[in-house]
Structure 1
Amino acid sequence: MEDIIAKSSFSMLEGKIDGRILKALKVMGYSKPTQIQVKTLPHLLLGDDIIGAAKTGSGKTLAFLIPIVENLIKLQFTRKQGTGCIIISPTRELALQIYEVLKKLLIDVDLTHSLIVGGEKKLKEIVRLHKGVNIIVSTPGRLLDHLQNTQGFSYENLKCLVLDEADKLLEAGFEKHIAGIINLLPKNRQTMLFSATIDDSVKNLARLALRHNPTLISVKDETQSTVEGLQQGYFICPVEKRICWLYKMLKKCKKLKVMVFFSSCNSVDFHYEFFRKNCKADIISIHGKQSQPRRKEAFQSFVEAKSGTLFCTDVAARGLDIPKVDWIVQFDPPSDVKEYIHRVGRTARGLNANGRAVILLRPEEEEFVTFLKNEKVYLDKYNFDEPSMDVQEMLEDLIQTNGVMKVLARKAYLSFLRCYKKHPFSKVFNINKLDLHLAAKAFGFLEQPHVDFLNNGKKR
């Protein structure tokens, strides 16, 4: 079947996959499968366990949703049989995204489905589970809670378990949750594990979750770690000029879709409030300390927007499929090379897609480009026109006169320093080589705020 899929469109699978699925794919605008779909569908449709390794934006979501729906249709699964498939995702946003794709795939198929994540009303989820939910998309903590405590949650007939973004599940500290879930679920099931990277911790999880001899499928490009349609580079920018550069960048990109990554929730809040009030651009913010309804609304708004800017932390770096993002701006450095790849993976997604990315580096940090090159990530050196410093004066005046903004700026400044202090690449992102006065200037301070966690609290 792989040869048929590889050389054809989805439509040529007529007779092998339920026609309602093919119709839904056509309506969704998918005609030709991606490589991960080509390689995994034949195994998954036969009920094999797999470990799927593919870079972000490769089409993994449909790679597991198509066989899930097809196999449950063949089994004539009904509400009375309870849950036939559980899909576990590391974040609420990614779970929501998977769920939205699932709903579109099930438009003409009578399979019940539910999104079960923390931050939503648990009672409503309990009512749905009592009625019978065939396909569940969930985050680990909330799912384990229901498995342990919700009477009438029928999962004895479970046919399939999906662990999506397995490496991120482990990074987020969900290993014990996943182990607890796996111990409670029926052993006689198909299991799919998808991950952007396959390291020892993911292999250990695979041994726990999958049956003997799972099929390992990888579609990684050995020549580069990011997708072909991505133009990426770096710009050397002194710390005190970054906010002026960003202001000019966003003014130029008013008709485009831009994601700007910051290192902390406090930094997102500070920059969001400043730019929302002083830059004539549509700006949305999202980070992990926001309420679930606000995060959900922000995510959906940016997905549906044709232009605008999203200020975010790495909560938005993994797996999120946001259409037609033109630019990725890494305003603050990522925690490692892998996180860099996931950030830029929010653009140039899908077949024949293009996107652009830039990371701001201080002059002392250019060595990070070498680290990226060693991981087959190749950056060009960008040149931008010198930004006007009028914005800096505007920011400094605001911090002196607006008490609320001054508090936000101080929190953001201290968070910025803490991220530098604990950065894993301390050889490159070295707090001891950072001029604290100039860093404070980047947040609008004429006088450096007191810092009590560096050099015994002394200024420098």
Structure 2
Amino acid sequence: MDVNKIVAESSYAMLEGKIDNRILHTLRSMGIEKPTRIQAETLPHFLLQKDIIGAAKTGSGKTLAFLIPVVDSLIKFKFTRKHGTGCIILSPTRELALQTFEVLKKLLSDIDLSYSLIVGGEKKVKDIMSLKKGANIVVSTPGRLLDHLQNTQEFNCTNLKCLVLDEADKLLEAGFEKHVTGIIELLPKNRQTVLFSATIDGKVENLAKLALRSNPVLVSVSNNTQSTVAGLQQGYYVCPVEMRIPWLYKMLKKSKKLKVMVFFSSCKSVDFHNEFFRLHCKANVLSIHGKQSQARRKETYLSFVKAQSGALFCTDVAARGLDIPSVDWIVQYDPPTDPKEYIHRVGRTARGLSNTGNAVILLRPEEEPFVDFLRKQNVYLDKYSFGDPPGEVQEMLQQLIENNGVMKVLSRKAYLSFLRCYKTHPLKKIFDINTLDLKMAAKAFGFLEQPHVDFLNKRKKKT
């Protein structure tokens, strides 16, 4: 059986009579005619109520792979508000939960099923009111869901039909293992459970054993020869540390009409670069990171989704699961912690069927071995040339830091957090702080004189 041929020739129209026609009509109105491979391969097992482990790269269409059969299943079970919650979808981040919720809303535009988004940062009273009315589908993050399962009497999930664990590897990486275990113990055992993950490691396998019934179906659509999607053009640019801001200025200027995501290693670095480029370079920039309020993160995310062009400065809080339409470029300004994080970052572009995108990572000359390291993980980078960055931008930055007290404070915090990220980087042989010229690194943040750093080269006190 040629699975690739079957997927290539399949369409959602072929499912008429098997899936509720209202779902198919909504998919057509969303411009979705063909299933992605993960959707085509998981759907038959999902409709047979089997437990599933779905392994697929980011950007492969996992959200609709579970939302379509979940909605169809609850329609067939004739769920109404009085039945309570029939499906719980667990997401590792509020942004991913919000994104799933937005897709769910579109899918239910002509269908009378109730739904609720339950995440941290929102008022619990609002959650309780929604649960009390009867939310058939609940999209939630682990902490808030466990809280309601333990403390909200109005949360009726005795009729639960399905539990979806989305981005299971990220759920565990984010330290939610105890929360997820607690949730599983409190839910009805007689249910279907579906686990989706970009990677399947020992921790994910243990979670699968705990959450799923025996003999789950494993659906893997990973390509062993390449770890990133085919439509992605990716490369690296060797850039001395002190030339990074002029390079980014040139990059943003050349891609003014495009959509760009720029990844930084810390929240403070996002704040500093956002302030500099937005206020002082008049660039079309938004920012998102984990220390912002939930309301601000939500507003920024939705604004960038709707935007036709512009840049989003972000930390790895935006690296997982977020489906932002038409991202043209991914810029890794600071290095990722490991190849997996690299893959998740670049996965924000070239998403879905027949989509293309571009990615570039900035590396210092000493860090070029990272290219060989990625090659061993089946990630292949070209060497890019962008021409000389404009020197006047660096001069403007240095004058700004010298004369503007607010920017000087922001810059110092960003510089120190940049050094801390290097000091604690897991790949120390490549991203080695001992090979970093601290004076040149300070110049990258606009300092003519290197700020005092008290956490490097500390001598042990004599006892």
> What is the TM-score of this pair, normalised by structure 1?
0.98
Which of 218, 237, 240 is 2:239 aligned to? 237
Q: Which amino acid aligns with 1:298?
A: T
Structure 1 residue 280, shift from structure 2 partner = 3.2
What corresponds to 1:107 in structure 2?
109
Q: Which amino acid aligns with 1:135?
A: I
What corresponds to 1:300 in structure 2?
302
- The whole-number CA distance in structure 1 between the counterparts of 2:434 and 2:32 is 51
Which of 443, 446, 453 is 1:444 aligned to? 446
2:263 is aligned with 1:261: yes
Alignment of 1:73-152 (within 5 A): 73-152=75-154
- The whole-number CA distance in structure 2 between the counterparts of 1:3 and 1:228 is 17
Q: Which amino acid aligns with 1:119?
A: G
- Aligned length, in residue pairs: 458
- The whole-number CA distance in structure 1 between the counterparts of 2:284 and 2:183 is 41
Alignment of 1:1-400 (within 5 A): 7-400=9-402
Residues 366 and 4 (structure 1 numbering): CA distance in 2 closer, same or farther, change over 3 Å? closer
SS at the partner of 2:448? coil
What do the CA deviations read for 1:113-168 (whole angstroms, capped 9, x no partner)? 00000001110110110110000000000000000011211010000000000000
Is residue 86–residue 137 contact of structure 2 (8 Å, CA) maintained in 1? Answer: yes
SS at the partner of 2:53? strand
Is residue 89–residue 165 contact of structure 2 (8 Å, CA) maintained in 1? Answer: yes
Is residue 44–residue 67 contact of structure 1 (8 Å, CA) maintained in 2? Answer: yes
Structure 1 residue 187, shift from structure 2 partner = 0.2
- The whole-number CA distance in structure 2 between the counterparts of 1:230 and 1:325 is 11
SS at the partner of 2:265? coil
| Identity among equivalent pairs (%) | 75
Structure 1 residue 279, shift from structure 2 partner = 2.2
2:413 is aligned with 1:411: yes
Q: Which amino acid aligns with 1:414?
A: L
Structure 1 residue 12, shift from structure 2 partner = 1.5
Is residue 14–residue 22 contact of structure 1 (8 Å, CA) maintained in 2? Answer: yes
Q: Which amino acid aligns with 1:454?
A: L
SS at the partner of 1:455? coil
Alignment of 1:412-427 (within 5 A): 412-427=414-429
Structure 1 residue 6, shift from structure 2 partner = 5.8
Residues 149 and 179 (structure 1 numbering): CA distance in 2 closer, same or farther, change over 3 Å? same
- The whole-number CA distance in structure 2 between the counterparts of 1:39 and 1:304 is 31
- The whole-number CA distance in structure 2 between the counterparts of 1:184 and 1:145 is 11
SS at the partner of 2:103? helix
Q: Which amino acid aligns with 1:129?
A: L
> What is the TM-score of this pair, normalised by structure 2?
0.97
What do the CA deviations read for 1:59-92 (whole angstroms, capped 9, x no partner)? 0000000110011000000100000000000000
Q: Which amino acid aligns with 1:86?
A: I
Q: Which amino acid aligns with 1:222?
A: N
SS at the partner of 2:458? helix
Q: Which amino acid aligns with 2:412?
A: R
SS at the partner of 2:408? helix
Structure 1 residue 239, shift from structure 2 partner = 0.1
Structure 1 residue 457, shift from structure 2 partner = 8.0
Q: Which amino acid aligns with 1:80?
A: K
Runs of 4+ in 1 over 6 A off after TM superposition: 1-5
Supply the RMSD in Å over aligned alpha carbons.
1.3
What corresponds to 1:456 in structure 2?
458
What runs of 5+ residues in structure 1 fail to find an aligned partner? none
- The whole-number CA distance in structure 1 between the counterparts of 2:175 and 2:282 is 39
Is residue 77–residue 84 contact of structure 1 (8 Å, CA) maintained in 2? Answer: yes
Structure 1 residue 5, shift from structure 2 partner = 6.5
- The whole-number CA distance in structure 2 between the counterparts of 1:8 and 1:275 is 46
Structure 1 residue 278, shift from structure 2 partner = 2.3
- The whole-number CA distance in structure 1 between the counterparts of 2:398 and 2:283 is 21
Structure 1 residue 281, shift from structure 2 partner = 2.3
Q: Which amino acid aligns with 1:18?
A: D
Structure 1 residue 203, shift from structure 2 partner = 0.1
Structure 1 residue 223, shift from structure 2 partner = 1.1
Residues 457 and 258 (structure 1 numbering): CA distance in 2 closer, same or farther, change over 3 Å? farther
Is residue 5–residue 13 contact of structure 1 (8 Å, CA) maintained in 2? Answer: no
Structure 1 residue 111, shift from structure 2 partner = 0.5
Is residue 51–residue 215 contact of structure 1 (8 Å, CA) maintained in 2? Answer: yes
Q: Which amino acid aligns with 1:228?
A: A
Is residue 398–residue 405 contact of structure 1 (8 Å, CA) maintained in 2? Answer: yes
